[in-house]
Structure 1
């Protein structure tokens, strides 16, 4: 997605005041509506993207695909807006352009406010990508399309009225609005304003935009009436792009879009799906547009080609550390991915600058860039999941950047170099690409090692691996991304062992085995007839927790990913071998609990565990005041809330402690060390309860670990500061 503003060779900055000194008040007055409308439209365009995505993120499980699906919608509708602007500019007279656009903008007010209705919350049976697209279409489709058309259309109108003034001077205002709209969200809008207030204020801003469009349209209409002409003299007299240049423009725009979306996926799947990590890549993408189209001096191949090669080498190193024993610092990871993204975007957009046509073909050039961006979004969201078993579109995007850059270098250097220099340089460049692709191939091969099943859907990539076959430690693992989400031994003697994060000394084991109700039931001979424990679990994994069930118990699992449910039944036996009853409810755990509560069904859990991870990312919407309120509606007064907080990058204990204090509960930190013999991983659980019998249990007190920090941080649905809990 570009900012919707570019600059051609025929409109380079002159350094002179704009409008020129000595301009009449009439000229200044005619500039104001266009300047204000273009600035506000750019701000609204980039502000609504994180607002609406943040609003619906918890509804669809907090997965990175929520943002990339939203981005696909935005890119396609940006293309639609540019196409609409191009058709108006090409086929209608100025008066009819003004009348039609103003009429549509006024009619679009019926879509305000843009707050999504709760009726759009998924029930677990629909296609999530289709559900998101339909939700966005109904909620913001028309306003977004019309706002996205403003950049090229209003600049075109301005050029009709003032053919001697460059419309590209409005470029700076548009980019300033875009950047402010994007960057202000995580640093000001999200921390200070609730989601409902955000959507209301955006709707108010859109209403102001309608007023400014009306002002601009009236100015154009008066000009066209006074001049009694449908065309400006000399219109469309510049040089346009040839077919090869058009294809290269599309390819460069698409490649930048692919790298943007794939990088965002790569960052979010292993860290967290939060607006800041959406805004950071998109801001770098936008800044690359601003720099490259501002002036040729900002894209110097002698600088950016070496920087690109260096950053891509760092990415290869980082990828090959996926399964290393030690984890690279979080900020270094973000920096490396961001540097590679920025260098790729500078290369793609810098080469786009070299292809730009004359200002007469303003809207058609915008249209090609938007089409390329949309094609990139379609590839990442629709094509890649079918072609690839992993997130390998990231690898492809990096290789494609090098290939396109090589082609651009060849085109510009061919007239200036001898055949020997071109051939030797070409061989060296192609050899480098092959070597780079080979290292990326090693990363893919490492991911697929020992894999017997790979499933990719909206919620991510799942892999089932088998290791140590033929030994007593023969095991089957479930991986989401690069994080293990469950393990089961394959040998008969160890088959029923609860493993991974759920071993006999884990926090969830302690909650189940030492719950006062469990201790009472264990003393009864007819336990099954007395009614056992009622245990809820947000997150299924491979169903390991079911190994703790006993006759009469009822275990209820909430799982958003249907593939996880299928894999747990087909490749693991914990559910099948469970001694108690169990049920898996498909859909987001929080939404399912909300729906049950709305139907006057309180589950009355003795224990509720929250263990819903996406990669190593944090499901922020499950750790807020609103979420905890819901949990305690479904827990018995003496129930235990067990939260699994094991994480590579974040220490979530301050959040859980603050929530426990808010609800008048005590929080106990239970830490279990890794045990290869029993297949247990290092795990950290926090048990939240006010059950005095449990809290005074000597066995429980023996297992409590002292807090390593005493800070507290309270999260709400409106705001959560993930960087406040980065592990030291």
Structure 2
């Protein structure tokens, strides 16, 4: 193999290795955070922002290194890499994360913990792509090294997908960290070798004509920053939108990031001189129309059994939209001498977009819903391949007319008293979006009209009046909705967190004592009601610990003289559960009911030994579960806090994960018998109109006397899974179909 070709292959392999390392460490770091922060999508989003910031600093470091000679670059790289190796293997500092307990927005302690464990090793490998490309460009005069960027994103995609499919099922966190450290050491050896091998040369003819270098102050910085910021913002916002309004399946956070990387591979896979596909611009604006239509109508209103088609539509349109935007970036990239600045701008734009979606929008727009999604969606439409005419003289007037027309359509729908459905959606959503799409040949006008259509669609009065409150916290978007009961004048109020109903109440449905009856998963004839309604003496329950509060429905079963403690990680949940006009359960509790904020496992570990007669685990019904509450180490905490003869009641209803094998593993490891009841009768007998919901519960402990439900031990051939803090793979537990809905 010729020396030149060998250098190209070596550069591609080194770039791909660094990309694999950079992307595989992100889910590893996220997994390391779960014992304190659960499975909230915000953990993934903020971890992503941390790695974007570190990548930016790595690119900034690469700019001066790319200009240095062989000796200087080796003198700088060697101690830098030695420092990075001192922080291997990377791990999260639990003391830094302990500061998050009870905080509404624990993003700063999370960033600090990530920095302590991962910053220096990740900073080192972040320099790889721009550094190697710049070295190769100076060594091989005339060669366009930017296709290596596609190789870099290909390695990133491989590293990202390898984690849930290979690394997580086969290796625990310690083994994953050691394997990553070996790869990091191999990369360090390679980058030092590259620093010695790639030497500037001016011999030989150029492979392609070299244009005159452009000074950095003449680069299109605004285009670079905006065209990289909006796709990054859209990626984070789309993840939140999908989890909240569409599917909420586990590992869903990986899919938008994977597609985001695919869009880079497709956009950067061909050179700047190659023309963009003629159809890409049209596909980009059509994808924007579909995504805007789905968001304007409200995916949560139409999803039903269409979760998978909706998810597929979102992801395909996201790919086409970001592909077009990134292709516009390729069309504006500079000569090889300016590539470090180009990649620095892309990284800075990615950081700004990630910060806007993951940190600023949830706080500044906490009562408004996921508004960062339509903002990023409209922003991506500013950049179309081929660079069509952006704006013309008469476009501002057209925008003003469109705003008045969209407002008039919304007012017309309100005056005509159009209920939810096709006519209202056609007037408020369909016509304004169609007008925006017809103007897509001018990106500026198209974006303005699209923004107006989305704004009016969401600000128009809701004809159903169903949504009465919404607020975001670090742990997701919480909605309080009201629907009509089966009889006239009855109103059911429910709390929806993400895509999961966490509790509901109807003030007119009371028992003989005048207390509001719990609904949802907690109704008296369901598994929870069967155990907690047993007569005194059937089960000892003087002191009860419940991990997970919801709307406080379980407090209905507390009796005079009993001491109940609810451990809740999200302060927003406590505030909503104490709104007695919506959910009166805590207020009407006949025993002593306390709420302790913080991670349930850690707060429970601080309680005296042998304290509780019953521990209730009710934190798994949402689609992103806190897996650290079901590990062997967690079970050791529970058994230590249980009084002799105590029991554990676990609620494991989940649309996407079958958690019974994990509970069976906990029972086997602790020597506690396991009883399970999948109560589908509430759904089959039409009791949904009463506010009853099907649910799946497990009892760990000896069978109490007097149980009336269909409690049975797991089948003999049922699988048994034992999770540990270092190894808890979700993928093997994913259901083939979401039967528990």
TM-score interval, normalised by the smaller of the two chains: 0.7 to 0.9
Contact conserved, 1:273 with 1:617, CA < 8 A, in 2? Answer: yes
Check 1:645–1:693 CA distance in 2 against 1; reply closer, same or farther (3 A cut). Answer: closer
Question: 618, 635, 643: which one pairs with 1:611?
Answer: 618
**Greater Cα offset, 562-571 or 149-158:** 562-571
Q: 1:174 — aligned with what?
A: 152
Q: 1:536 — aligned with what?
A: 545
Alignment of 1:375-524 (within 5 A): 375-388=352-365, 389=367, 390-405=369-384, 408-411=387-390, 425=439, 430=445, 434=449, 438=453, 442=457, 449-466=465-482, 472-491=489-508, 496-514=516-534, 518-519=537-538
| Residue 549 (str. 1) matches residue 558 (str. 2) | yes
Q: Could you tell me the TM-score, scaled by structure 2's length?
A: 0.80
Q: 1:200 — aligned with what?
A: 178
The one-character-per-residue Cα deviations of 1:579-599 (angstroms, maximum 9, x if unpaired) are 111221211212333454xxx
Q: 1:575 — aligned with what?
A: 586
Distance 1:211 1:667 in 2: 55
Q: 1:107 — aligned with what?
A: 83
**Greater Cα offset, 207-216 or 718-727:** 718-727
SS across alignment from 2:677: strand
Q: Could you tell me the TM-score, scaled by structure 1's length?
A: 0.81
Contact conserved, 1:82 with 1:363, CA < 8 A, in 2? Answer: yes
Please state how far the C-alpha of 1:557 moved relative to its aligned partner: 0.7
**Greater Cα offset, 446-455 or 332-341:** 446-455
Question: 342, 346, 351: which one pairs with 1:369?
Answer: 346
Contact conserved, 2:276 with 2:386, CA < 8 A, in 1? Answer: no
Contact conserved, 1:670 with 1:705, CA < 8 A, in 2? Answer: no
**CA-atom RMSD, angstroms?**
3.9
Check 1:724–1:142 CA distance in 2 against 1; reply closer, same or farther (3 A cut). Answer: same
Q: 2:168 — aligned with what?
A: 190
Q: 1:214 — aligned with what?
A: 192
The one-character-per-residue Cα deviations of 1:148-182 (angstroms, maximum 9, x if unpaired) are 11111122223333335443464464344323222
Check 1:640–1:447 CA distance in 2 against 1; reply closer, same or farther (3 A cut). Answer: farther
Distance 2:625 2:599 in 1: 14
The one-character-per-residue Cα deviations of 1:403-430 (angstroms, maximum 9, x if unpaired) are 444994325999xxxxxxx998558985
Please state how far the C-alpha of 1:539 moved relative to its aligned partner: 0.7
The one-character-per-residue Cα deviations of 1:358-382 (angstroms, maximum 9, x if unpaired) are 2221111111111111110011022
SS across alignment from 2:360: helix
Distance 1:709 1:442 in 2: 54
**Greater Cα offset, 60-69 or 79-88:** 79-88
Contact conserved, 2:248 with 2:498, CA < 8 A, in 1? Answer: no
Alignment of 1:24-103 (within 5 A): 34-89=11-66, 92-103=68-79
Please state how far the C-alpha of 1:75 moved relative to its aligned partner: 0.9
Gaps of 5+ in 1: 1-20, 228-233, 415-421, 522-531
Check 1:725–1:115 CA distance in 2 against 1; reply closer, same or farther (3 A cut). Answer: farther
Check 1:622–1:271 CA distance in 2 against 1; reply closer, same or farther (3 A cut). Answer: farther
Q: 2:135 — aligned with what?
A: 157
SS across alignment from 1:550: coil
The one-character-per-residue Cα deviations of 1:661-718 (angstroms, maximum 9, x if unpaired) are 5555232215251687995321313232332443xx3xx2444489899753525242
Distance 2:30 2:12 in 1: 28
Q: 2:229 — aligned with what?
A: 254
SS across alignment from 1:45: helix
Gaps of 5+ in 2: 203-208, 394-435
Please state how far the C-alpha of 1:85 moved relative to its aligned partner: 1.3
Distance 1:703 1:54 in 2: 36
Please state how far the C-alpha of 1:51 moved relative to its aligned partner: 1.1
Check 1:425–1:36 CA distance in 2 against 1; reply closer, same or farther (3 A cut). Answer: closer
Check 1:153–1:412 CA distance in 2 against 1; reply closer, same or farther (3 A cut). Answer: farther
Distance 1:714 1:491 in 2: 44
| Residue 565 (str. 1) matches residue 584 (str. 2) | no
Contact conserved, 2:379 with 2:447, CA < 8 A, in 1? Answer: no
